[in-house]
Amino acid sequence: MGGDVEANKAVVARFLTAVAEYDLEAISGCLSENVVQHYQQPTNQADDGSQSASALNGRDKILHEIGTYFPTLYRLDTVKLNIQTMIGEGEYVAARFTLAAITAGRGEAYENHYFFLYRLGDGKVVEYWEYYDTKYAAAKLF
Task: Give pLDDT tens digits along the chain (142 positions).
Answer: 456 999 999 999 999 999 999 999 999 999 999 999 998 766 655 566 666 667 889 999 999 999 999 999 999 999 999 999 999 999 999 999 999 999 999 999 999 999 999 999 999 999 999 999 888 888 898 8
Predicted local distance difference test score (pLDDT) of residue 141: 87
Q: Residue 29 belongs to a domain with what CATH number?
A: 3.10.450.50
The single-letter code of the amino acid at 66 is I
Q: What is the pTM of this model?
A: 0.89
3-state SS string over 103-134?
Answer: ECCCCCEEEEEEEEEEEEECCEEEEEEEEECH
> What pLDDT is recorded for position 10?
98
Its domain, for residue 131, covers: 5-141
Residue 113: name the closest of 91, 85, 88 by CA. 85
Structural domains of the chain, count: 1
What confidence score (pLDDT) does residue 50 get?
61
